[in-house]
Each structure stands twice: as C-alpha cells, then as structure tokens.
Chain A
C-alpha cells in the first residue's frame, strides 16, 4: 500500500514552454502533498505544500507564478513549470500524506529544458 506515482518520469521541453507534472496517490487519499526539487548531486529542497481544495503554500524563494500547483482532489496534485528555462532543469519529487505520521514519496520526474 501507500503508493505514489508521478507522470511523466522524464520530460524534455524547449525553453519558454510550460510543463505539467502529475502526482497521484494510488491507494490512499492524500490530505497533503508536497513538492520537492533536487539538483544534480544535491539534496532535496521543499518547494511547496498543498492541501486539497486550497492554495499551495510556497517556501521562501520559490516563485508561485512560475511553479503553479493545483491539488484538485485527494489523489491528484499537479505542478506546472511555466515558461521553463534551462535553470529549471531538475529532478522534481512529490510526496503525499494521509496522516501526520507518514509521508510517501513518488519516483520523481526528471525535467530537462533545452
């Protein structure tokens, strides 16, 4: 149980385009979902926290207009990178929580902006 999926697993896009990444909790309802970013050989950095039906809370330094997060249902959250640039190339990982005790991570999405 407690499986989180992400789609796509890899995406390559051209500079200036937008990319949407989906995060789904497959066998549980996630009251809270988190989005992290990981640059090569670095650690994970929390970008934002989203609760179903409400606006996401962004960490300091993360542009909310560039990284649009929608948590429309208890099993789906999306992250849209708008007007992507090469510096946005990174590994994006989501996690989902159904309680206060556990957080389940997705397999990640590797974004490459050319």
Chain B
C-alpha cells in the first residue's frame, strides 16, 4: 500500500543551488531509502537510513530521518543538470531492506535549470 508522501511534487531550481525534498510516512518503519528515476528508466538507489539513525551523508546527498514525526528529507547540495530526475522515498518494515517489498512515496520531480 502507498504510504509515502513527498513534497514538493515538483521543484525547479538553478544549477548550483541546493534542493530539498521531504517525505512523510504513516506506519512504523525499520528503514527508509531514497531512489532516483530518470524519465522512463529504472531506479537508482541513493541512500538507506535505518530507523535508529538520524542523519546520513553520501557525497552531495544528505538524508535526515525523524521517526517521531515520521518524516525524512533529502538534500542535494550544489545541484547539477544531471540531477534532473524524479526522487522517491521508499520504506520497509523489515530489518533489512532487501527481502521486503518497498512502499514508495509519490515522488518529487526535480528540474535543474542550467
């Protein structure tokens, strides 16, 4: 079932600016993941954050998780034109993230203006 809600649904910024996307969910989770999808393509895994973690970094990506508010944010710093894509959060109630089907949010479509 769909439980994630991302906002904004669409975001357009200038190259070099930072982009922040938010995700909210409804049920208890064990981990939350962020994925990128270029138009009409498959998913690229960006980062996984476990329920006992509050913040995680990977390159230009910073993810936060607030389990009390059931929300997460994805920050992309120093955006590039190649970052143009749709970004989805996905939650899993399993302790891992692989053996359980994921529940995806509705996604944020990010456009980076050159």
Nearest chain A residue, comparing its CB with the CB of B43: A105
A108 CB contacts on chain B under 8 angstroms: 40-42
Chain A positions within 8 Å of B102 at CB level: 34, 44, 46, 95, 103
Q: For chain A residues 66-95, which have a beta carbon within 8 Å of chain B?
A: 91, 93, 95
Query: At the interface with chain A, which of B55-63, B74-82, B88-96?
Result: B88-96
What are the residues of chain B within 8 A of A98 when measuring CB–CB?
A: 98
- Contact in complex: A100, B2 (CB < 8 Å): no
How many positions in chain B have a CB within 8 Å of any CB in the partner chain?
26
**Contact present for A99 and B40 (CB under 8 Å):** no
Query: Do A100 and B1 have beta carbons less than 8 Å apart?
Result: no
Report the Cα distance A95→B95, complex, angstroms: 18
Say yes or no: is A54 at the interface (Cβ < 8 Å to chain B).
no
> Which of B11-19, B65-73, B103-111 lies at the interface?
B103-111
Residues of chain B with a CB closer than 8 A to A106's CB:
42
- Beyond A100-B95, A105-B43, A110-B40, whether A46 also contacts B101 by CB under 8 A is yes
Given contacts A43-B104, A45-B2, contact A102 B42 (CB under 8 A): no
A59 to B103, CA, bound (A): 11
Chain B 1-43: CB-based contact to A (< 8 A → 1; otherwise 0) = 1101000000000000000000000000000000100001111
| Contacting residue for A32 out of B43, B44, B98, CB 8 A | B98
Q: How far, in Å, is B11 (CB) from chain A's closest CB? A: 15
Q: How far is the CA of A93 from the CA of B37 in the complex (A)?
A: 12
- Asked whether A32 and B99 contact (CB < 8 A) given A43-B107, A44-B88, A44-B104, the answer is yes
Nearest A-chain residue to B6, judged by Cβ:
A43
CA distance A107 to B42 in the complex (A): 4
**Cβ-defined partner of B98 (8 Å) among A42, A91, A97, A107:** A97
Determine the residue in chain A with the shortest Cβ distance to B99: A100
| Residues on A facing B (Cβ under 8 Å) | 31-32, 34, 36, 42-46, 49, 59-60, 91, 93, 95, 97-108, 110
